[in-house]
Amino acid sequence: KMESVQFKNDHEIEDNNLNHQQEQQQIEHVEQYIPHLLQLVSETSSILHSPIEEMSLEEIYSRETKQIVADMIYSIHPKQLELAKAPYRKAAGMAANQWNINKRIFLFCPDGSDQEVKVIFNPTYKSRLLAQSHTSELKTIPSNHITDFNQEGCFSVPYAYGTVERYKHIEISYIDDKGIKHMNEQLSDWPARVWQHETDHLNGILYSNRQSGINNGPNCIELHRFQTKDEFEKYR
């Protein structure tokens, strides 16, 4: 389980300026909000192809955001995905803009959306090996120690899968749903892949776009699309 790094005082949370009202808002729980079923946008929707700006602490603690988080957690559950006629039964994560929400939030559940779901604000990542190595050492690190290839699917690219190159080991930073800032935590393998995929969403990048080489970073070396869900499941 990932360890968190909690700020020692309010001044460390954001620009030495977190007031008492924000502290009280932080105490409120998502469970107070009645959730609504969200619908996924299509692959061509503009919100999927533009970077989402970072959120302020005030925005994270707002009632609007708490309602959005309640809606997202409700909508990612397998039963609700089925009601929404989503292309797949379970998710390993979902970014807010996949539901047409212009907020830098994603849900993280690498074991499946019927298991624990974490709320992530303002996520970032970097390659752990590249971050920890001196420039002179980079040439000596085998490429397969830095990245690997695996198949990925996406609710925004229905009935398709691609073989995508990702960093194997990453360092991540984010704010959780309690307002706690996490810095330089480590993820590897499948959880690291999910994190990169969802952060890409918030940066306006679909894994399928990586095939064309128009974005920096790891590439999708092949992409398979199918016309129907039956065709997709038969091939898989």
Annotated catalytic sites, by residue? 198
Cα–Cα distance for residue pair 80/57, rounded to 1 Å: 29
CA distances from 158 to 41, 91, 101, 152, 213 (A): 11, 13, 19, 11, 21
Q: How many beta carbons lie within 10 A of that of residue 14, not counting itself?
A: 17
Neighbours of 165 (CB within 10 A): 16
CA distance 141 to 130: 9
Return the closest-CA partner of residue 106 out of 202, 19, 14, 189.
202
